[in-house]
Structure formats: C-alpha cells, structure tokens
Amino acid sequence: MLDPHILARLKDAAGPQGWTEDPADIAPHLVEDRGRWKGQSALLLKPKTTAEVVAILKACHETGTPVVPQGGNTGLVGGQIAMNGEVILSLRRLNQVRSVSPADNTMIVEAGVTLAQAQQLADDANRLFPLSLGSQGSCTIGGNLSTNAGGVGVLRYGMMRELVLGLEVVLADGRVLDTMRGLRKDNTGYDLKQMFIGAEGTLGVITAAMLKLFPKPAGHATVFVGLTDKAVAVDLLNRIQQDTGNLVTAFEIIPRIAMDFVTKHIAGVRNPLPDHQGWSVLLEVSHPAAFDATAALEEALARAITDGLVADAVFAKSEQDRIAFWKIRETIPEAQKPEGASLKNDVSVPLTKITEFLDSADKAVRAALPGVRPVAFGHIGDGNIHFNISAASPAESAKLLAARDMIEHIVLDEVYKRGGSISAEHGLGQAKNETIAHYKGAVELDVMRTLKRAMDPKNILNPGKTLPNAGH
C-alpha cells in the first residue's frame, strides 16, 4: 500500500483526469496479451502532458516510489507489467502530434500516438513511416522506441533506432532531456537518445520523438517463392538485392507447417503454392516510379529456377493479392493458438548460420521433448528467426509448458553457439532479464549496470526488468 501522502502527491501530479484506483480500470493494464504475466497495482497514472510526467517522476524519485511505464501493452516479454505493486504510468493520453514536415522529412509525435496513426500521418503528407508490426493498431511510438521495435521492414529501413532523429525524455529525477534538433549530422559528443531506445523504460520515460520520414514507394512487387531448400534462401536474397539495387523491403521465410496451420485455422486464406511441400519466402520489393521491379524480379527468379534455387513462384497481380499474401505471414502466431500451447523464441543469428541453426535447434528440441512441432519463421533477411515451438497436440500443451525452461535453454544455447542474440526485437523485459547474464559479456553487463545506477540511482524506473539482479 502506498503511503497516503505519497498517493495524494501522485494524484495531484497527474491532474484530476490523470489517475484511477478503480480495479476494473486498472485490470487491463496488469496482463499482457498472451496471459503469461499477471501483475498487481493499486494506482494507474494517466498523464496528458510532459509537464505532468515531470511532476510524477519528481514525486516518485523523491519518495522512492517505483513506477512501470506502459505504452499500448503489446509487449511480448513482460517488460510493461507491474509485478510487485508498482505504480503504472500509462502514456496513452500523451498522444499529440506536434509537427509534420514533409520538407524536412520528419514528424514529431508524442509517446502515446499509435504506430498506425504515425503511419497515416506520414501517408497524409505523401511520405512513408516504414515501421510495420502486427500490433500497429494498438502499439504506441513510445513502446516501439522503448523496445527498439523491428518488424517486416528492417531489411530496407532498419529498426526503430534507425528511424529516430531525436527524443524528449523525462529522467528519473524529473529533469527533461530534449535532443529533438532534427539534424542528420550532429557530432557533438555522445548520441544520448540511443541510450533510451531499447532500454524498456529503465533509464527514462520517453514522452515524444522526432521520427524520420521517407519518400512513398511508387509501388510494390510482391511474390511468394517456393524454395528448393531453405539453405538457398540467403543466396536468393543476395541475388535479388543485386538485381534490384538493394530495394528488397521484406524477405520472410515460412515453413510448410506454418502454411498448413494458417490455411487450416484462418478464414479466407489459401496457399499460393499448394503443391509445394517445402519452405517458402514472401518477398517484397518497394520501388520508385522509374524502376520496374516486377520485370527485374521475374528475370532474377527465372535465373534462380534455372540454377535450382527456386521451385516455383507466384506474383501478386493486384493489391488484393498482396494483402492476401501478407495475411499468411501475419497470422502465423494466431494460427498456432488452436494447435495448443506454443513457446516463442525471438532470436537472431548471422545470415550464414541460419540453416545450421534451424537444423540443430529443430533436432535438439525434438530430442528433448519428442512430438513437439518447431515452427520457425520470420525476417530471414536480417537474421531474425521466430523459432516457435507448438505442442504435439492441444492435449499435450501442459507437457510443453512444463518443459518451457528446458526447451528455451536449448534453443538459446544453439543461438549462442553461432554468435547470435537471444532477443532480436522483442527486448528482455522479465522474460530474459536473468537469462541474459549467461549470454552477454561481463563487461557489457557491467557497463549496463553502471548506466542504470547513474541514470536511476534509486532504481524506481521499471525495476527488475531488462537487467539481471534488478539492475543494481
């Protein structure tokens, strides 16, 4: 229970419409989408301005009150959940659009603006904001920044940290750090904004961001490709990049088991290559008006078929076809649910190690728990594989969940052996905040802890997340 004096001060800081103690209002903020983590909190703060965030954090810092920042609550590693009665700081009401400048190719939005809204703002200005995620209708820019979100466009445009020119951040003691100068070149010391991107709210609370905008593509060439073997995927990617002048936007690998799950459980989905039994790739090139991407892809894929890399390919002939192709990729996680419990592993390995990792991890988890069904898919163009594992059947779900720690350890060991990362784009949160100690160098961890102690000496910002041993 919060001290009544602290409670009154926090309420006053958040403003009359900026807080609630109603358990029914707080409940949706205490559980993440998959239900793996369920938290507890007696107070939800909902500031509408940076000034209110400043007042809240000053009060939390001075009284030693822990606080968990939260965006759209779409995170997959539990970083946004208050597990020990911390105050929840929801940034959803901090949702103003401060500026959009097509000439500068920038926009400034507050942390509570959803990704879909940011995309629409860019589109309205005849520009593109390229970050694209399945949860874009509800995830927020603040959350995207705090987790360094990736998604399907990383290959062409980079992760969230590459899409930012500056941030406004409220520090643990309530001071405001503003780096939103809009400069593409600024070589005056440390790039401070990068400290907060991917830090999951443990070093400061992001309240606004200056984001990069890009020219809108004139069109897309989208094709579903049946590979002769998954081992040829990287070679094919490099060929396509060469033939299109590095215009590949997405290169998503899909195994046959994932395709079967989607066509079985997702209404209206059909397999573009029904006779192909192996691995497929969803390939998309976004192109300027002066370039005929379809012709370039047709020529490149024809050579790949001749050279034995590709078995078959189907082009999207319309925007409706393109949407249908992408629905296959985007609904794989949903299609896994009726098949029983599944374990999610968001990892990355060097491109040249992808096939080796897929084979070794598949073999290792099947040996450890016979009958399980690995479902590995994702952003193969940047080495990011979602190595999911479905139960042998819905009835075997409990057996798989009971073996979660063992199976995840096996997968992460296979990643580590190949110089990979145990978290490619979802972050660490509380899912991997202790595990990371086994896979990250001692010096790296020491520097991270040093930053945490310097930026948040009282350990009030999202304590117990991202770093092992609570970060102190």
Q: What is the fold of 341-417?
A: Alpha-Beta Plaits (3.30.70)
CA–CA separation, 224 and 241 (whole Å) = 16
Q: What is the DSSP string of 333-378?
A: HHHHGGG--EE--EEE--GGGHHHHHHHHHHHHHHHSTT-EEEEEE
Give 268-275's long-range contacts (Cβ < 8 A, gap of 24+). 268/327, 269/324, 269/327, 269/328, 269/331, 270/324, 271/328, 272/224, 272/314, 272/324, 272/325, 272/328, 273/224, 273/226, 273/312, 273/314, 275/312
Q: CA 247 to CA 156: how far, in whole Å? A: 7
Q: How far is CA 238 from the centre of its chain?
A: 25
- The pairing of strands 67-70 and 87-90 is parallel
CA gap 255, 437 in Å, rounded: 32
Structure tokens at 342: 């599944």
Residue 273 confidence (pLDDT): 97
pLDDT level of residue 462 (50, 70, 90 thresholds):
very high
Residues of the chain with CATH 3.30.70.2190: 219-333
Pairwise CA distance, residues 228 & 311, whole Å: 5
Range 15-19 contact pairs with CB under 8 angstroms and sequence separation of 24 or more? 15/47, 15/48, 15/52, 17/46, 17/48, 18/45, 18/46, 18/47, 18/48, 18/52, 18/93, 19/43, 19/44, 19/45, 19/46
Q: Is the pLDDT of residue 1 over 80?
A: no
Q: What is the average pLDDT across 257-282?
A: 97
Q: What is the dihedral of CA 344, 264, 220, 321, to 10 degrees?
A: -170
Residues contacting 195, CB < 8 A, separation 6+: 203, 204, 451, 455
Going by C-alpha positions, the residue among 79, 107, 87 that lies closest to residue 203 is 79
In the structure, what pLDDT confidence band is assigned to residue 471 with cuts at 50, 70 and 90? very low
425 CB neighbour count, 10 Å cutoff: 24
Average pLDDT of 7-32? 96
Structure tokens that stand for 184 in this block: 């593409």
Encoded amino acid at 116, one letter: A
Q: Shortest CA distance to 13 belongs to which of 96, 89, 71?
A: 89
Contact predicate 372/366, CB 8 Å: yes
Q: Is the Cβ–Cβ distance between 129 and 211 less than 8 Å?
A: yes
Is the model's pLDDT at 186 over the cut of 50? yes
Residues of the chain with CATH 3.30.70.2740: 341-417
Q: How does strand 214-215 pair with strand 127-128?
A: antiparallel
Strands (E), 96-212: 97-101, 106-110, 127-128, 164-171, 176-178, 204-212
Identity of the amino acid at 280: S
Show the tokens assigned to 319.
């925007």
DSSP, collapsed to helix, strand or coil, labels residue 280 as strand
- Name, of 33-37, 225-229, 437-441, the range with top average pLDDT: 225-229
Is the per-residue pLDDT at 267 higher than 70? yes
Q: What is the pLDDT of residue 411?
A: 97
Instruction: Mark residue 268 as left, alpha or beta (left: phi above 0; alpha: psi -120 to 50; beta: remaining).
Output: left
Q: What is the mean pLDDT of residues 221-232?
A: 97
pLDDT tens-place string over residues 390-443: 999 999 999 999 999 999 999 999 999 999 999 999 999 998 989 999 999 999
Placement of tokens 């945490």 in the chain: 452
Q: Where do we find the tokens 């993440």?
A: 32
| Predicted confidence (pLDDT) per residue in 122-135, tens digit | 999 999 999 998 88
% helix / strand / coil in the chain, to the nearest 5? Answer: 40, 20, 40
CATH number listed for the domain at residues 97-215: 3.30.465.10
Q: What is the pLDDT of residues 147-167, one digit of tens each?
A: 999 988 999 999 999 999 999
- Residue ranges, CATH 3.30.465.10, the chain: 97-215
Q: What are phi and psi of 30, to 5 degrees?
A: -105, 0
Closest by CA to 350, choosing from 381, 376, 375, 377, is 381
Where are the CATH 3.30.43.10 domain residues in the chain?
4-93
Per-residue pLDDT for 311 more than 50? yes
3-state secondary structure of 16: coil
Fold of 4-93: 3.30.43
Mean pLDDT of the chain: 95
The matching CATH number, chosen from 3.20.20.60, 3.40.50.2300, 3.40.109.10, 3.30.70.2190, for 219-333 is 3.30.70.2190
Write out the two tokens for 280.
């497929």
| The pLDDT value given to residue 472 | 55
